[in-house]
Amino acid sequence: MLLLRAAPLRLRTVSFSVSVARPHVMRSHLLRTVHLAGGMSTTAVDNSSNGFIDPDLSIEHFGEGSLNGLTFAAKDLFDVEGHVTGYGQPTWRATHGAATKTSPAVQALLGAGADLLGKTHLDELAYSLNGENTHYGTPVNPACPDRIPGGSSSGSAVATADGTVDVGLGSDTGGSIRVPASYCGLLGIRPTHGRISLENACTLARSYDTCGWFARNAQVLRKVGEVLLDSSSKQDAPLTRWLTAADAFDHSDKATSQAIYKLVQGHHQEMTGLLGEPQEVTVASLEGMGSLSDWWQVFRITQGAEIWQELGEWITANKPQFGPGTKERFEMASKLTPQEIQTAKQKRKQISAHLQELLGKDGVLMLPTAPGPAPILNTPPAELDLFRSRLLSLTCIAGLGGLPQVSLPVVKVEGCPVGLSLMGPRGSDEKLLQLTEKLMALFTQ
């Protein structure tokens, strides 16, 4: 909830660059200064859910557009000029200076009329799907406070789910938008890889990293897409071929599959009017590539190799203290062999081509976002790792293919949210967002 209160008079100056080109492209920059007077009309951010690392970093919009009147929070891997980007790790924060430019994604939202209310927590260097940070704590999942919020975009998800902001800006490499969206009962999108600039943002694995976002409202989710997505790579073909991923449902808890199937069956007539009759498919049907569990191993190796290439030198030089799980993943990434990496890269190319053929230009694949609801807080690490393997067997699909995926908060299991996902061909993000708006209206009527 957004709280309004009088505060002692204080004047704060925030400087950032203003783009005068298209929102997703920075061509020229004008310096703008925003003065926030605490005694006038100051907005105090409610951080009781521990979503924000820097709730005092507030920037008013500098443009007018489709996001007028909306607020957003930005994951603390996006740069804001004049402020240090912490990347979820205190040693990273201590070894980096203030940003000299503001991320194009943040600029685009400010230019379309939205106000930035602060930067948010994330897992260490974004290398986790849990949302539990040893150094900064665990943001509270508003949907199920006794369960983890999901990560790595945990703070942006929580700040959106508890109503503090309308939009949570985050990133998704292996599921860092889709998983918190599922756990916290939000709409969330991982866009087609490369459709939104990640300039002036921290890198994890370049060929997998995407800029995504959360919203509670499908119309808002779509409007943000209209601002952020590069229109030159848009695909206009309608999505008219409904595919259900049988093997993805097999990787999910029985209760999750049953809840989703019950929902879909209850709206079968309306959904076939939108998408035609559903066709059940096995996603991992490529000869010699194994099951979705094997695909996850391809993802693990190729992602790990990129992560170590990007961050290994800094880790070796600075020796940061990582929390459990994250520490072991970086150790794994550091020990990957050239042969392992080369073999996994070759398999990834084949998998990507297979997914492109499966979806064509008109296919929309339906699958569970996660195997089940969010794990309970303080779940033993070994048990959490088993769940993580099942989870990544689902989320790796979009990553391996560079595909867009939207998670819809439409079912509950054990009283907690589980997302239903829609995945489309590369460039079909706008069509997926339009379909999401129609389906949410259908499911919530």
The per-residue pLDDT for range 414-423, each reduced to its tens digit, is 999 999 999 9
Q: What is the mean pLDDT of residues 351-374?
A: 98
Q: What is the mean pLDDT of residues 422-445?
A: 97
Q: Is the pLDDT of residue 426 over 50?
A: yes
**Using 50, 70 and 90 to split pLDDT, how confident is the model at 381?**
confident
Is the pTM for the entire model greater than 0.85?
yes
Prior bond to 152 cis, omega within 30?
yes
Q: Quote the CA–CA distance of 161 and 148 in Å, as a whole number.
A: 13
Q: Quote the CA–CA distance of 396 and 119 in Å, as a whole number.
A: 27
| 84 token code pair | 């240090």
Backbone angles phi, psi at 436, to 5 degrees: -60, -45
What amino acid occupies position 405? Q
What separation in angstroms does the CA of 28 have from each of 63, 291, 313, 386, 406? 16, 48, 33, 48, 33
- CB within 8 A of 327, min separation 6: which ones? none
Q: Is the pLDDT of residue 22 over 80?
A: no
Q: What is the mean pLDDT of residues 272-288?
A: 96
Q: What is the mean pLDDT of residues 68-95?
A: 98
Tell me which residue has tokens 């209310």.
117
Tens digit of pLDDT for each residue in 27-60? 222 223 333 333 223 457 889 999 999 888 999 9
- Mean pLDDT, all residues of the chain: 91
Are 243 and 283 within 8 A, CB to CB? no
Which pLDDT score is estimated for 5? 26
Lowest-pLDDT range of 2-16, 216-230, 263-277, 329-343: 2-16
- CB within 8 A of 380, min separation 6: which ones? none
Which pLDDT score is estimated for 43? 57
Q: Is the pLDDT of residue 357 over 60?
A: yes
Angle between helices 338-359 and 381-401 (to 10 degrees): 60
Residues present in the chain in total:
445
State the catalytic residues: 75, 152, 176
Q: Which residues pair with 134 in a beta bridge?
A: none
What amino acid occupies position 67? L
Q: Quote the CA–CA distance of 8 and 423 in Å, as a whole number.
A: 49
- With vertex at residue 118, the alpha carbon angle to CA 314 and CA 8, rounded to the nearest 5 degrees, is 125
Which pLDDT score is estimated for 7? 29
Are 199 and 153 within 8 A, CB to CB? no
Tell me which residue has tokens 């783009």.
19
- CB within 8 A of 382, min separation 6: which ones? none
* Nearest alpha-carbon partner for 165 in 111, 225, 119: 119
CB atoms under 10 Å from CB of 148, counted, come to: 26
Q: What is the mean pLDDT of residues 73-93?
A: 98
Lowest-pLDDT range of 17-26, 159-168, 366-375: 17-26
What is the percentage of the chain residues whose pLDDT exceeds 90? Answer: 88
* Nearest alpha-carbon partner for 34 in 55, 52, 18, 50: 18
* Nearest alpha-carbon partner for 73 in 157, 168, 155: 168
Tens digit of pLDDT for each residue in 282-322? 999 999 999 999 999 999 999 999 999 999 999 999 999 99
